[in-house]
Chain A
Amino acid sequence: MSTLVLGAGGFLGLNIVDALVAAGSTPRCGRRVRSNVIPLRSRKLPMVVADLEQPETLREAMRDTKTVVHAAGYYPRLSLDYEGAIRIGRTQLENVLDAAAASGVERVVYVSSTATIAPRADGSASTEADGFASVPGFGLYHDLKWTMESIALAEQRLEVVIACPGACIGPWDLRVGTSALVVGIARGVNPPHPDGIVNIVDARDVGQLVAKMALSTTSVPKRVLMAAHNRQVHPMLESLAKRYGVAPPSAPLRADEAKALAFSEESRAAECGGRPAVSREIVDLIVHGAPVDASLATQALGARFRSWTETLDAFDDWARRMRLIPEQPGYWSTEHGSESITQP
């Protein structure tokens, strides 16, 4: 009986896979037919096709599986199709849970988000006990994550435990998701942003904690927050600008300005391709961000979160090797000479 990781080739998936291997496990790595499996191939681990839209592949992938780590929760690149995204997220998670129940899987570790943690009225740090009673209504990302987590929480056929990581920074963020602001600053781009609180966590710490939730032979908490540092975004970007020797970031946008810009940028990206200068998801996570208290992860799973400096140094080293961060802010050399950088 083994562990299957869905989304194994993705950002968190690779960190979870590495943590499982470090803990002595040999996970099977779920993948889509068409996906980047270069990092998985170099790890020499068994791969199996597990397409969340094709239940028969999930049932086959889950054969003889004791634990499924679901790190492939739907994550739309743009927030323009609300109904469609909610429908996809719901269907995919239902497919995973149905296949797990039919295959005799004992535990599913579902990787969710701190977006499902409700802010407290008094501004104090929220814990796992703080959930939204109904859909948050902040925007697609929060609503999608809440909808999917509600399905996971309601599952009765098998044990489902939920990991709620904050803004993950670390190696293997090849799509430059949550690290977009760090990469933007390091490239000498002035990233438009609102201000608010983000809950930073090292992706390697998340990998280790999710691996513990998967491998534990005793009961684990139903829902575990994974966040190490509650940081105000604008001062964090100012300190990053100093680190990279670039001009300080422009003043933060108001929430309504940031949402309008995100809508216009996402509309442009939908029409012309490329990525938006700022996404609605990032705007909502910052604008509605609240401090969280992840002490349950420390008490129940022995979490020892890395410092921000350690996280940033490791990310910087990896991102330079992957050419996501150039040797010199604003420019880097290519096989065709020097190229100006416009956006992450």
Chain B
Amino acid sequence: MEANQSHNLDEKILRVIAELSLVRLADIKPTDRLREDLGMDSVASMELLSALAEEFDLEVEMEEAMAITTVDGVMEMAKKRLLAA
């Protein structure tokens, strides 16, 4: 994945996170934890990953989704899946 593609993907992911977490896009950091820092409960976290899976047509398994706890983790998962596609 090229650098500008990766950057665009990060932007899109952050936009979805901002929409579902109600935290301003500019305030979201890669190291943020979905629950503790962005106030997302387990249901909202799953909805986020589900929304990303639909947006980017990613094949995500629940086991993998349940292990993701940070914004960084979300981005890594999405990139890994897109590269594998």
| A contact residues vs B (CB 8 Å cutoff) | 34-39, 41-42, 174-175, 273-275, 321-324, 334-336
Contact = CB atoms under 8 A, between A and B. Distances in A.
B11 interface: no
B85 interface: no
B50 A36 contact: yes
A37 B50 contact: yes
A34 B53 contact: no
B59 A273 contact: no
Given A38-B65, A322-B63, 6 more contacts: A38-B46, A38-B60, A41-B50, A273-B39, A322-B66, A336-B70
A41 B59 CA distance: 8
B37 interface: no
A39 B47 CA distance: 12
A37 B57 CA distance: 12
A41 B66 CA distance: 16
A195 B10 CA distance: 50
Q: Which 10 A-B residue pairings sit nearest by Cβ, starting from the closest?
A: A36-B46, A36-B50, A322-B66, A323-B66, A38-B50, A37-B50, A321-B63, A38-B60, A36-B47, A38-B62
Nearest to A9: B50
A275 to B, nearest CB: 8
A178 B59 CA distance: 29
A323 B69 CA distance: 12
B51 interface: yes
Interface residues of B, number: 23
A334 B65 contact: no
17 contacts: A34-B20, A35-B50, A36-B43, A36-B46, A36-B50, A38-B50, A38-B61, A41-B50, A42-B59, A174-B42, A175-B42, A273-B41, A323-B66, A324-B66, A334-B69, A335-B69, A335-B70
Interface of B: 20, 39, 41-43, 46-47, 49-51, 53-54, 59-63, 65-67, 69-70, 73
B69 A38 contact: no
Given A37-B50, A334-B69, A335-B70, A322 B62 contact: yes
A96 to B, nearest CB: 22
Contact of B73 (A35, A274, A335): A335
A38 B49 contact: yes
A44 to B, nearest CB: 10
A241 B77 CA distance: 36
A39 B41 contact: no
Nearest to B52: A38
A34 B22 CA distance: 14
A175 B69 CA distance: 16
Contacts of B41: 273-275
A41 B81 CA distance: 15
A175 B59 contact: no
Given A174-B46, A175-B43, A34 B73 contact: no
Contact of A34 (B39, B51, B59, B70): B51
A324 B62 CA distance: 12
> Which of A41, A275, A336 is packed against the most chain B CB atoms within 10 Å?
A41
Contacts of A275: 41
> Which of B42, B53, B59, B62 is packed against the most chain A CB atoms within 10 Å?
B62
Contacts of A174: 42, 46, 62
Contacts of A321: 63
